[in-house]
Amino acid sequence: MRYKLFIPGPCEVDEEVLAAMGQPTPRHYGPEWMEVFRETIGLLKQVFQTQNDLFIVPGAGSAALDMALGSLLREGETVVVGNNGFFGERLGTIAQAHGLRVVWLAAPEGKPLDPDDLRRVLDREPEAKAVAVVHHETATTVLNPLRELAAVANERGLPIIVDAISSLGGVPLPVDEWHIDVCVTVANKCLECPPGLALVSVSPRAWEWVDRHEEQTHGWYLSLRTWREYATKWADWHPYPVTLPTNNILALRVSLRRILAEGLEARYERYRWAAQAVRQGLKAMGFEMFVEGSFASPIATAVKARSEFKVDELVHYLAKEHGILVSGGIGPLHGKIFRVGHMGKASTLPYLMEFLFAVEEFLRKKGLEIPPGASLVGLTHYAVRDT
Ligand SMILES: *Cc1c(COP(=O)(O)O)cnc(C)c1O
């Protein structure tokens, strides 16, 4: 069965992007391929809004997080890690796996990290060598105040490593303007491509950190030094140490062209529009949102469970009757929330209407009285976009 993906990643990819995946597989080196590769890096730098070095690393986003933490820091060093949900905790777990001492900057689930808290933690921890945070905590749909957090790290002269896996391309994140030293994302969330590629930008200060130590201590493949070495040594024909998944990169190039043709601001606006359409519609049918206010992300929406039915009933109904997939809560939020993603086709009018109508139908089947069309109020209170 073909499902409509309303999960917070991967998202449903446009046919034009999928068609690029199906092209004859090009070789991953040589002059023709280098043109594709260079164009793709150039487009990525526009979306990252950076002039920093940028690498396309085959693998999941976690591979690039591993690479960042392992390359900038050494065993025994201290890193401050933001934790207000599952992916923040995961970031700390990756740091600990490198033998780093993790000092947590914690906030309750559903609340953002506090830049003043970061200042206090750094006052207490003069030995801290870096800060690592998640931008969009996908588990709760809180968008952390990255610009302010980065400013604090910057004040102290410390590099900041950012898990922007579910945010880059979906919300403003000007890497250079905000002084993000290492910015990690993937192809399969707001960049609206199939999974398979991690993307990482590296600032001059991040390189200084990498070069503080003579020896390379944490392996070869996921070491930024290895990638820099090949970007220089084999610059004109094969500027990376391994075989790249060329079809994934062809797809990424198409998607990046589409994003830049739409315009970054227009893209962010489309996600905002989709998010408010979902929120207003669900609220009109009696749901409460898990995150309110300026920290509620436009990339995904977490909705509270309610007393009349279990979250799983709704999730199964949407999948079985409408082929629509939404996510439940993970970890301690299991059964307490469900999450709706606004990436890819989920941010288009026909998809939104189908999803909202399906929820309305489910509630009616549960015996709740919902005024006909209540679910669509968010689509009518806002200029409908022709996407
Ligand atoms: C999806 C996601 C991850 C995990 O990415 P992988 O590609 O599975 O390693 C990490 N962090 C955040 C914020 C995410 O949304």
**pLDDT value at residue 92:** 98
Per-residue pLDDT, averaged over 35-56, amounts to 98
For residues 75 and 126, membership in a common domain is answered with: yes
| CA atoms of 116 and 363, how far apart (whole Å) | 43
| pLDDT averaged over every residue in the chain | 96
pLDDT at 52: 98
Band of residue 267 on the pLDDT scale cut at 50, 70, 90:
very high
pLDDT at residue 387, rounded to an integer: 46
- Tell whether 233 and 277 lie within a shared domain: no
277/103 Cα distance (integer angstroms): 39
Say which amino acid occupies 100: L
Kindly state whether residues 229 and 313 are assigned to the same domain. Answer: no
CATH code of the domain in which 76 resides: 3.40.640.10
**303 and 223 in a common domain:** no
pLDDT of residue 382: 52
* Residue 213 binned pLDDT confidence (cut-offs 50, 70, 90): confident
Residue 348: which pLDDT band, with cuts at 50, 70 and 90?
Answer: very high
Residue 120 pLDDT class (50, 70, 90 cuts): very high
Q: Is the pLDDT of residue 251 over 80?
A: yes
Q: Domain containing 379: what range?
A: 263-384
Any domain includes 7: no
Query: What digits encode the pLDDT tens for the residues 71-83?
Result: 999 999 999 999 9
CATH number of the domain bearing residue 290 = 3.90.1150.10
Given a cut of 80, whether residue 385 has pLDDT beyond it is no
Closest ligand 1 atom, CA of 134?
A: 13
Q: Is 8 part of any domain? A: no
Ligand 1: atom nearest CA of 60 is 7
Indicate the residue type of 265: E
Which amino acid residue places its CA nearest to atom 2 of ligand 1? 165
Ligand 1 midpoint to CA 166 (Å):
7
Which residue has the least CA distance to atom 12 on ligand 1?
165
Residue type, 59: G
pLDDT of residue 308: 96
Centroid of ligand 1 to alpha carbon of 61 (angstroms):
6
φ, ψ at 298 (rounded to 5°): -85, 5
Decide if 141 contacts 296 (C-beta within 8 A).
yes
Both 188 and 243 in a single domain? yes
From 203, 237, 260, the end of a domain falls on 260
Boundary residue ending a domain (204, 229, 260): 260
Residue 386 has pLDDT above 80, yes or no: no
CA of 93 to the centre of ligand 1 (A): 13
Is residue 32 situated within a structural domain? yes
Question: What percent of the chain is modeled with pLDDT above 90?
Answer: 93
Q: Are strands 53-58 and 128-134 parallel, antiparallel or unpaired?
A: unpaired
CA distances from 82 to 88, 103, 142 (A): 6, 9, 13
Q: Are 219 and 316 in a shared domain?
A: no
Burial class (CB in 10 A: 0-12, 13-18, 19+), 15: exposed
Pocket of ligand 1, candidates 186, 190, 200: which has the most ligand atoms within 8 Å of its Cβ, to mutate?
A: 186
Say what the pTM is.
Answer: 0.96
Q: Alpha-carbon distance 318 to 335, whole Å?
A: 16
Question: Which residues does ligand 1 sit against, CB inside 6 Å?
Answer: 9, 60-62, 87, 134, 136, 138, 163, 165-166, 186
Please give the tally of structural domains in the chain: 2
